[in-house]
Structure 1
């Protein structure tokens, strides 16, 4: 049994990590660390765990095997390195960190101490992403050449997510998941990166609109678009292939039932199922696709299987490092207005 401790008890720590960890066979939610006394009290009451006021005190506890960082993005590198140097395995919430240099330092520390390092990309088990992945694998739209992956919302980010120095900006929150999807879906290196960020509407410095355009060496064009100033929605996915296309509205349905205490109760609005348009027997047909039912529980089950059984890690730190290299290029593009040539 692996004893896990979560650092941070805000929304991510409270609703995601401390909920999902105990659902994995072989993992035990052992402790929570937070500087906030009220949150320590809440964690003890809600989760029945030991609590610590500092990560330094937590790391002295020899019963702790795994540290999960549910803290602002700009703290991930420092805290992860500290934990790994103390001999602990580490999971960071996404984004992994703030840049590729930090990612390199984290990976080096993991290897030097022979401990596991992973990033919480639970959205590899989103229903919509898995459905798009299956449609492509089944050849329903032919070779894909253009993707739009979009999150449109209205309302400013709260707390540290609205502070660029702590969060990294608008592309580092939802964008971390959407970029991870892109790098999983397209089997090719990225050769050009362009990014635009607009600052409107809210008195925040993280941006209210961002667009990231990836040019892959195999010719695929992949657009990631995010806004917190959108009064009108767009499709979550729009994908063109050589013989067909896909359109999909709506977000993965797991979060709301998870917050209410039963992630397995997730259901999807049938009207939001993906639709594929392709030619069948000489006629263009619209095919409604049943969503692939993923489960965010799979992330921590994999972590348990890695640590208890020697299984292969599903979300490798090198994959997250690749995303950080693209972020470095994207931020340079946003600052200069130029398209950045890369080989990532």
Structure 2
């Protein structure tokens, strides 16, 4: 029997990143969507019920609630979903504060339901390739891991809540959540964190630039994002005592979803050959340089893993404690910037 899913919110996240992926995984049926634009939902999902409120959705016969509404609603809607006895998926970032995240983790444990966070960029094609490359040891002892995800958005979008002065808005919660999660997934918690935050654009009401340095015992992780980057540098840049790896471009899955593609379609998650990363390393004492074919991206893996968790008791695709630690790093970054110092992670 299919897992009955309900989606709260049908903006970019709900309509692009969740509904199409859910419909591509046979274990799920999208049962109900909460939206202020029912016509949009019915156009995309004519066989799905549209609810006018979260309470109406939670009273339906659904197994899992997927929360894709604005960040400041994540805590309350997650709490309601857990209290209703539903499994819950929260779009990243998990919550606005780590204290809220801890409360939700405790509540889910008490109610015996599953709670996870949609850190889908763990399944970006470039990140999967970097992870695989690190496991091979081709770079030797790592010295620098640098990850950049920038945009060119010179005009502030006045109608976008992400650009407004509200809890959980700004680029640190948006793109920063992705980059921090990837780094913690690879390396665990750092020893220290230093942050520089800025408001780059005229009229911007929240941070639209960040530069973070995460200190580990023998290497550094640099995470960067800006809003005035017309021509971006490498998406990933890694250096070790044996070699270096540079990767340009970004994962194609978001663009493919916007074009109406689904997982399983020809070319899904695949990179263009001219965007393959460049590896320079040493092999048996010889200098070697060449392209590394990018592994295919697979956002569908998140919901496949979640289905195994619900139906068979398998491990969650993202542990809620991992997502909570991302929020902790955001809080430390704000503290570091405001106090002008390096923070020791405890």
What is the CA deviation profile of residues 195-218 of structure 1, one whole-angstrom value per residue up to 9, with x for unaligned ones?
A: 1111122412222311111112x3
Aligned partners of 1:115 and 1:327: how far apart in 2?
27
Do residues 269 (structure 1) and 268 (structure 2) align? no
Any idea what SS the aligned residue of 1:167 has?
Answer: coil
Q: 1:173 aligns to what SS in structure 2? A: helix
Map of 1:226 onto structure 2: 225
Distance 2:137 2:120 in 1: 25
Task: Say whether residues 1:203 and 2:199 are aligned partners.
Answer: no
Paired residues, number: 337
8 Å CA contact 1:305–1:311 kept in 2: the answer is yes
How do residues 249-260 of structure 1 correspond to structure 2 at under 5 angstroms? 249-260=248-259
Work out the CA distance in 1 between the residues paired with 2:337 and 2:178. 19
CA displacement at 1:56 relative to structure 2: 1.3
**Structure 1: which 5+ runs fail to align?**
none
Q: Distance in 2 between matches of 1:78 and 1:209?
A: 28
3-state SS, counterpart of residue 234 of structure 1 = coil
Between 203-212 and 82-91, the greater mean CA deviation after superposition: 203-212
Write out per-residue CA displacement over residues 299-340 of structure 1, whole angstroms, 9 at most, x where no aligned residue.
111111111121111211011111111111111112222211
Contact 2:181/2:326 (8 A) holds in 1: yes
Aligned match of 2:212: 212
Name the residue aligned to 1:30.
31
Cα deviation for residue 157 of structure 1 reads 6.0
- Aligned partner of 2:335 in structure 1 is 332
Distance 2:90 2:143 in 1: 32
Tell me, in whole angstroms, the C-alpha distance in 2 between the residues paired with 1:244 and 1:124: 24
Contact 1:136 1:143 in 2 (8 A): no
Matches within 5 A, 1:1-344: 1-34=2-35, 36=36, 39-47=37-45, 48-61=47-60, 63-155=61-153, 156=155, 158=157, 159-186=160-187, 188-216=188-216, 218-263=217-262, 264=265, 265-266=267-268, 267-343=270-346
8 Å CA contact 1:72–1:166 kept in 2: the answer is: no
Tell me how far apart the structure 2 counterparts of residues 200 and 252 of structure 1 sit (CA, whole Å).
Answer: 25
Deviation per CA, 1:242-278, whole angstroms, max 9, x where unpaired? 2111100000111112122213333422121111111
Runs of 4+ in 1 over 6 A off after TM superposition: none
TM-score w.r.t. the length of structure 1 is: 0.94
**Shift, 1:11, TM fit:** 0.7
Structure 2 unaligned spans of 5+: none
Q: Distance in 1 between matches of 2:156 and 2:241?
A: 38
